[in-house]
Structure 1
Amino acid sequence: MKKTYFSRHQGPFIYFLGPSLIVVTILLMFFLRNTAFYLPNPIAPLTLIIIFTATLGGYKPGLLTAAFAAICLAYNLSIPGQHFAYHPMELRRLIAWCISYPIIALVVGLLKNRSEFLLEQELERRIQQEEDLRASEVRMRAIIDSAYDAFVAIDKNSKIQEWNPQAERTFGWTREEALGRALIDLIVPEKFHQAHHVGLTRYLATGEGAILNRRIEVPARHKNGTILAMELTVYPIQQKDSLWFGAFLHDISERKRIEQLSVIQLTSSQIMSENASLNEVGPLLLKELCQGSGWILAELWLFEPTSQSFYCPYVWSKNKETQSLFESQNPKYLSSRQGWAGAALTSDSPQWMIDIDKMTLPRSEILRSAGFKTMLYSPIYDRDELIGVLAMYHSEALKQDARLMSVIDDFCKRLGLYITRIRSEEGLKNLSHDLERKIQERTEELKIVNQQLKNEAVEKEILYEQARTANRLKDEFLATISHELRTPMNVILGHSELLHEENLSPQDQKRSIEAIYRNTKAQVHIVSDILDVSKFITGKVQMNMEVVDLAELIPLAVESISQAASAKDIEITDSISTDVGLITGDPTRLQQVFWNLLSNAVKFTPRHGKIHISLTAAESNVVITVKDNGKGIDPTFLPYVFERFRQEDSATTRKFGGLGLGLAITKNIVEAHGGNIQVTSEGKGLGSTFSVILPLTSLRSHPTTDDTLEDVSHLLDGVHILVVDDQADALSLVATVLKRAGARVDKASSATEAFKKVVRVRPDVLISDIGMPEKDGYDLIGMVRKLPQDMGGETLAIALTAYAQEEDQKKTLQMGFQAHLAKPVEGKQLVRAVAKLVGKYAAH
C-alpha cells in the first residue's frame, strides 16, 4: 500500500505525541489540584488524546497511546496510599475504559486510514483532470489560434474575453487592443447596436436566442471603418459561475462581391434580352451596375462619328441630387480630343483612374463638387467600331479591382452587341416603313369604307330604335291627351245640350253651368300645362317677379281647391306661420305650384281623407309642405316623380287621370325661383309628402288685396271699347263680359271693319284677335298706328289671342299693342287689364 502524505512526513514523532500529551495532562492535574481548575478524573482528556493521536497517526500510535492512557488511569483510580488497589466500582470503571481505549484507537485509526486512502484517490483524480484540462486548453488554444475563421468570445456584459490571430487579421484590432472592450465598440455596426443589446438581454432573461447555434450572414466593421460581410455562428459557453458566448466569423466579403458581380452579368443580360428600346435599357443597366458594384454614379456616353464627339443621354446615381447635378451641368457634347474621351478612341479595355479630384479633366469642377475620387471607364465597341463609353465614379480612392474591370469589360462587349442589334433593327424598321405605309394607304380606304358602312348601319339601328321609342311615346302621349281633352269636352257638350232643353229646372241648370265651368277650367289647365312645358323646355318662360308673402298666397290656393276637396269629403288643414318672411317670386306661378300640389293630393287621396299644408321657416329659407294620407308612391317610382310624361300607372285601366306634366312644371317653377322640391313616401297606401324650399328675401312687400273678391261690375263705366274677332261666339262672349263691367262696346268681325269703326267712332280701347282671315290683328294695329292722333292713331290696344308664346307677346308689343292677353282668359282678368290700361285700376 502506498504511503499517505502524513505517513511520509510524520515518522516516529507521532508515536511519542500521545504519551507526551498524557504526561502533560497528568502534570497539569497535579499542579491544579488545589485550584478551581482541578480535574479529579482524567478519563475525558485521555479519551480525547487517544482520538486525536489515532486521527493523526492511525491505529498504531492510537493503540500505544491507549495503553499508556490505561496505565495512567489505573494509577489515578487506585485507592490513595494503596497503589493499584481499587474499590469494586472503580475497578469496573477501569476495566471498561481499558477495553474501550483500544477499541476507540482502533476504530478511529482505521477510519483515518480509509479516509486518507479515499482522499489520496480523489487528489490523484483531480490532479489528472487538471493535467488533462491543461493539455486540452493547450490543444484548444492551438486550434483557435490556427483557425481559418476569426474567433471571438464575450462575457454576459458583451466584454471581449477571447480574440484569436485570425480575428486580428480580419478586423485590424490586436488581441491586446480587443480584450476587455465592448464588442459593439469594435466590430458591430452602429445600426445593429440595439439589436445586439436586445438579443443578449433576452438570452440572459429567458435562455433563448434567435441566432444561437445557427449560421447567419451579418455585417461587421473593420478598424478602418469598412463594412465587411461575415458568416456568423454563435454558441453559449457555460463555465462554473460564468457565461461566455463564442462566435466564429468567416469573412465572405469577397464571395458576396463575386456573387454581386455575377448578378450584374445575369441581370444585365436579362434586361437587354427583355427590352427592345435603348431608352428603356440604358437607365436600368446603369442602375444595376451602381447597385451591384456599390459605385455612386454611372454614365453612358454615345459616340457621334460625324462630329467626333460624345453625348450623354443616360445618367443614374443612388444620390438623386448628384444625378440632377450631372444631368443639368453635363455638356451637350464632349469632344473626343479631351481627357478620357480622347483616350477611349485608342483604348479597347477598361481604365482605372485614382485621385481624379486632383487631375485636370473635362468637367473637373463637377467631379470635385460631387466628391468623386475614383473613375472607371470602358469603351464600348462592336468589332472595330466605337459605339460609346461607360463611365463610373466612386467617392473613395479605391485600389484597382481586376475582377470588376473584367466584369465591366464583358458588360461593355455585350452592350455593344445589343446597341448594334437595336440600331440594325431600327434600320430594318425604317426600310420596311415605306412598304408598310404604302400597304396602309391601300388598305386605309377600304377600312374607311367598311367603317363608314358599319357606322351607318349602327346609326340606322340607333335611329330606328329612337324612332320606335319616340313613336311609342308619341302614341302614348297623344292617347293621354286625347283622353284628357275628350273627357271634359264630353261633359261640356253634354251639359250644353241639356241647357238647350226648355224643361230643365233651375237647379239642374245651375248644376250644368257649374259642370261646364269646372270642365272648361280643366281643359284650360291641360292646355296651360302643355304650353308651360314647351316654354320651360325652350327656356322661354317669363317670370313676373315681385315681393310675395306666402302666408297670404297659400290660403288662396287652398280656397281654389276646397270645392274639389269637399266633393270627396277630404279635410284640408293648415299651419301657416305669418312671420316666416318674404320671398321674391311670381305670385301667379307660385299659386300654380301650390294648386298643382294640392290638386294632386286631392286626386290621390281617398274619400274622407286628410291633407295638411304648412308654412315654416328654416334658416334663410321657407318650407311649404303638403302632406296627405292617400295612395302613396311606390319607392321604385320616386326618382321619376318629377319627369315629364311619366306616370306611375300609364295603363288604360288606370284609376287617376292626367298628362303627367303637373309635377314637372311644378319642379321647373320652383327651380326658376332658386328653390328645390322634394318628395317622400313610405310606400303605397301610406301617403306622400311634398316639400318646397324657397329662399327668403330682404326686400319689403307692398300691401295686397285679394283680386278674386274684387267687384268689377262698374270698373269700366264710361269706357268705349271696340272688340274685334272673326269668331262670333268669342266676339259675343267678350262683349258681354265688358258690358257687364259698365263699358260701351262696339263689335267688328274683321280687320277692315274694325279699322273703319276706329276712324268713325274713335273708341277708348281696341281689343283685337290676332289670327283672322285676309288681314290679321298685326295688319289692323299697323293701319291704326299710321292714323293721325285726332283720327284714332294713338288708340289704346290689347291683343286677345290664342298665340300665347313669349315671342308672340314680344311681337304684339313691338307692333303697337299696349298689352297682350292669352286665350282663354277669365272675365275679371280681362276687365282688370282694360281698366289698368285706361287708368281706372291700380294693382295693389
Structure 2
Amino acid sequence: MKIKFTEKTKRVGFYLVGPLCVAFLATFIYFTRYTPWEIPNPAPFLVLIVILSCFYGGFKPGIITSLLAWLYLGYYYSTLHSVIDLQEDMQKRLLSWGLTFPAVSIAVGLLKGRSEAHLQREIDQRRLREEELKASEERTRAILNSANDAFIAIDPNSLIREWNVQAEKTFGWAREEVIGKRLTDVIIPDDYHKAHLQGLDRFRLTGEGPIINKRIEVPAKHKSGISIMVELTVYPIRRKDDLIFGAFLRDVTEKKHEDQLSLLQYQITRILTEENNLKAAVPRLLETLGMGLKWPLVELWLTDKRRQNFYYTDNWSDDAELRDKFRNISHQLFLPKDKGLFPQTEGANQPVHITSALKNSDYPRSKMVEAAGFQSLVYCPLFDNDTIGTLCFFHTEKMSPDKRLLETLDDISKHISLFILRSWAEEDLTRLSKELEVKVQQRTEELAIVNMQLKKEASEKQILYEQAQTANRLKDEFLATISHELRTPMNVILGHSELLYGNELNENEKQKSIEAIYRNTKAQVHIVSDILDVSRFITGRVQLHLEVVDLAEIVAMAVESILPAASAKNIDVNEVNCGECYVSGDPTRLQQILWNLLSNAVKFTPRHGKILVKLEKKGSNVVLTVRDSGKGIDPAFLPYVFERFRQEDSTTTRKFGGLGLGLAITKNLIEAHGGTIHVHSEGKGTGATFTATFPITALRLPFIPPVKDAEGHVSSRLPLKGLKILVVDDQPDAQALIRTILKKAGAEATVTSAATEAFKLLIKIKPDVLISDVGMPEKDGYELISMIRRLPAEMGGNVKAICLTAYAHEDDHKKALDTGFNEHLAKPVEAKQLIRSISKLVGRYVPYH
C-alpha cells in the first residue's frame, strides 16, 4: 500500500533528516570507539550532515541540525578528555564549530532557496510551453480533422507522424493503427515503393523533390486492398532540426471514373461522327470501349436482315490469342434472338450486369468463358423498337454492379444503334444504285465543305451585310433614276399636248411639238421595255423567236436610226460592213442590241467625236465592234459595266440619263443568242470599245416575193395594198389609230369593239388578217380566237391572227400563241412594226427600214 504524504508531512520529514543523521553518527561513533574504525574527529561529518539537512530541508531544518551537531560535538570533546571543563583550545575549537555550523546552514539554505526558485521558474515555464504546444497540436489536429481532404504527415524515414479523420475515412485505417508505421506499408502500392524512398533520399541530399509543392494524381491502396486514385499535394515542414512532410490527399476515384466515362462518350461520339460505314467504325468502337473501360474482352453481335438471329460481328482484346480464339469459335455460331445470348438477357432492352450465369450450360460458349477465367459480364443490347444487336463486356474479376457505368453504356448503345441503322440504310441504298452511292458521297463532301464554310460565317456575314447595303443603295438610286427618267419624257409629252390642244401654234411649231411627243414617247416605251426585259431575264422567261437574219442589214438599219442624233452633235459615224452575215436570231432583239450599243455610243461621245461600227467575219463567228471617242470608263467601274442598275454616276447632278439597264440587257440578249460581249477602255477620256461575237449560221434567208402594184413595180408606200383586215379593240382611240395606220399602208380595214360582233363580221367578210385586243368586255380576245379556230377553213377558221395587247409578259406571249394567234405584239407598237408583222404573216417582203 502506498502512503500519500501531504505537504505538512513532508515538512516534518525535512526537520527530522538532520537530527536523525546526527543521532546515527553519534551511535556509530559510540559503538566504534574501541575498534579500528573509530572516527578521530566527527566535525567534518557533522558539517556534511548540516549541509545535507539544509539542502534537503532548507534554512530552518539546517539551524536545528547545526545546534544538535554543536551540542553533540561539545559532548564528544568532553567525553574524549574526560573532563567537565574543557581546555581553552578545545573551547576555541568548539566555539569555531558553533559558528561554522550556522554559517554553513545559512549559506547552503540561501543557495538552496535560490536554486529552488530558479528551478521552479524553469519548471513553470517549461510546463507552460508544453501546455501551449499541446494546445497548438490539439488545434492543428482539430483543423486537420475538420478538413475535407485527408492529411498525412511523415518523417524523412517515411514513418507516419500524423493521420487525420478524413484519412481514416479515405483509406480505412484508424489513426492508432498507422502512427509510427511506414507509409509504404500502409497506402503506397508496391510498384511505387522504390520511387517514394528515392524521393525522400533526394530531398534530404538536395532539398528538392519531384513532387514537392505539386498537385499530382497517383494510385493508392485502401485497407481492403482495392486500388483508388488520389490527388496528392506534398509540402516540406521544417521545425528547427526536425523535418516532416505534410501531404493533403483527396480521393478522386469517383471523379476519375466519371471523367473516364465522359471521355469514353466523347470518343464514341467522335468515331460515329468521323466514320461513314459500319465496317470501318466497328474495330475503332470496340477498341475504344475496351481500352476506355479496361475490360479484357469486348464483343459485338448483330441481327440478320430479318432480325431473327444473332451473328458474331467482331471483337477486341489486348490479348491477341484470346481475341482470335473467341473470334474463330463465335463466327461459327448463329443464335436465335428470341432466346438471347444468355439466360438472364432474354427480352432485355437495357444493360444487364451478370456474374452468376456465366457458367450456365445453356450458354453456347460456357466452357470457353470458364476456361478464359471470366467472372463478370455486362450485356448491353442495341435497341430500336426491337433488338438489332448487343455489346458484351467480359472481365476476369468478379466486378460489383456499377450503376453509372450501366447508364453510360445505355446512352452509348443508343448512339451506336442509330449509327448501325444508318449504316444499314446506306448499304441498302448502295446496293440499289451506284449512282445513288455517288450522290451520297457528294453529299458527304458537301457537308464537309459546309462545315468549313461555317468557320468563315462571321466574315461572310459582314460581306453579305455590306452587299445588302450596296444593293439597298442601288435600289434607292434606281428608283430615283426611274422616277426621273419616266417623269422627264412624260413632262414633255404633257406640255406639247397642251400646246397642240390650244390651236395657238403655227405649222412649223406644231410639227416640232409632234416630233417632241413622238421622240419622248419612244423614250418612255424604251424605258418600260428595259424594265420588263430585266424582269424576264431575272425570272428566266425570255423567249427568242429565232429565224435566219442578215446581221449586216440590221447593223445598217441601226446606224441609220441613230444618224439624226449623231448629226445633232456633229458626230462622225463610220460603218465598216463585210457584206452578208447570216446568224440565227430574233430580229427584234438583235435590233435592240444594236440600238443599245449605238445609242450609248452617241450618248457618251461629245460633240465632234467619232463612232466606228465594224462588222466582220472571224472563223465561224461574226464580230461586231462599236468604238467611240467618248468619256471612257473608269477602270474601277469596268468590272460592273454589265451589271443591272449599275451606273458610274448615279448622283442628281449626273450629266447622262438612263436607268443603267441597257448594257445588262444587251449582255443577256447576246448570250441568249450564243454569243459573247466584252468591253475595253483605257480610262476616262479615252473612249470605249464594245466587242460582240455571234455564231454564223449556214442557212440563208428564204426568198419572199415583194408586193407589186398594177404595173408590176414593187410597192414601198402601200405594202398592205389589197388586204382586208378586221380590227377588234374596245378602245375608240386605239381603233382610230390602227385604222389610220392600215389605210395609209393600203389595206381595207374593218373595225369593231366587241368579240361577238367581230365573229359575225369575220364569217361575213372573210378578212385576210385579224387584229384583236385581249382585254374586252363580255368576251376577251382568247375566247374570240378559240371560237374562230373551231370554224371550218372556208368560213375563216384559218385566218391569220395578230394579238395586239398591253399584256406584254412572256407568259402572255405564250398563251396567245397557244390559244390560236399567229403573232403577239405588245402595245405600244410602232406602225412600221405592225405593218412588217402583217406582211410577214401574208408572205409579203418589207425591208427592215
TM-score normalised to structure 1 length:
0.45
TM-score normalised to structure 2 length:
0.45
